[in-house]
Amino acid sequence: MTTELCESNVVSTKNLNCDAKSRFKKRYSSNGPKNEIAVVPDFHKRILFSDEAHFWLNGYVNKQNCHIWSEANPQVYVETPLHPEKLTVWCALWAGGIIGPYFFKNDEGHNVTVNGDRYRAMVTNFFIPELNNHDVQELWFQQDGATCHTARATIDLLKDTFGDRLISRFGPVNWLPRSCDLTPLDYFL
């Protein structure tokens, strides 16, 4: 992700580290999409990429994923609480548009972390109904291998919706570990 703020000359970039073993796995697996790419020239436009992002409400930025560059070293130290309040947001992105954002909150409206039950509830109550507004017969759904995404009940639910067009850990097409460079949402959200 690259963002330039003209007035302050600050550039934000994401560092995405992938080791050689991950690059090898990416290169030599997942024949399902490769076959589709060979037959359908605009296959990349048929993938619904999905992911969550955390936004800390106190302005904290995850330094492992985001580096801030500036012409001058600001020499600023900011004290932050050990566990600052954050908001988790999910969305799906493809050539036809965006589904979401979806904000993970409990029944009282408080921000919550994502677990298997909450993710499945989002898929059931938000994502699948939103899909009814789109022609999804030719769309592939991609999600990363996060544990909350790959519970058996969630994978079964997504298989019922997408069949063999599911790209996920434990899905018909396996999502490769540490493949953060394969989804545009790591740059978009």
pTM confidence score: 0.68
**Whole-number pLDDT of residue 127:** 93
* Spatial distance between the Cα atoms of 20 and 60, rounded to a whole number of angstroms: 31
Percent with pLDDT over 70 in the chain: 65
DSSP-assigned letters across all residues of the chain: -EEEETTTTEEEE------HHHHHHHHT--HHHHHHHHH-TTGGGGEEEEEEEEEETT----TTT-EEE-SS---------SS--EEEEEEEEETTEEEEEEE-B-TTS-B----HHHHHHHIIIIIHHHHTTS--TT-EEE----GGG--HHHHHHHHHHHTT-EESTTSSBPPPTT-GGG-THHHH-
Structure tokens at 133: 């507004």
pLDDT surpasses 70 at 151: yes
**Whole-number pLDDT of residue 126:** 95
Question: Per-residue pLDDT averaged across 150-154, rounded?
Answer: 88
pLDDT surpasses 60 at 155: yes
**Whole-number pLDDT of residue 64:** 57
Q: Which residue has the higher pLDDT, 38 or 69?
A: 69
**Whole-number pLDDT of residue 63:** 60
Q: What pLDDT, in 10s, does the model give residues 33-65?
A: 555 555 777 888 888 888 888 888 877 766 655
Question: Per-residue pLDDT averaged across 129-147, rounded?
Answer: 83
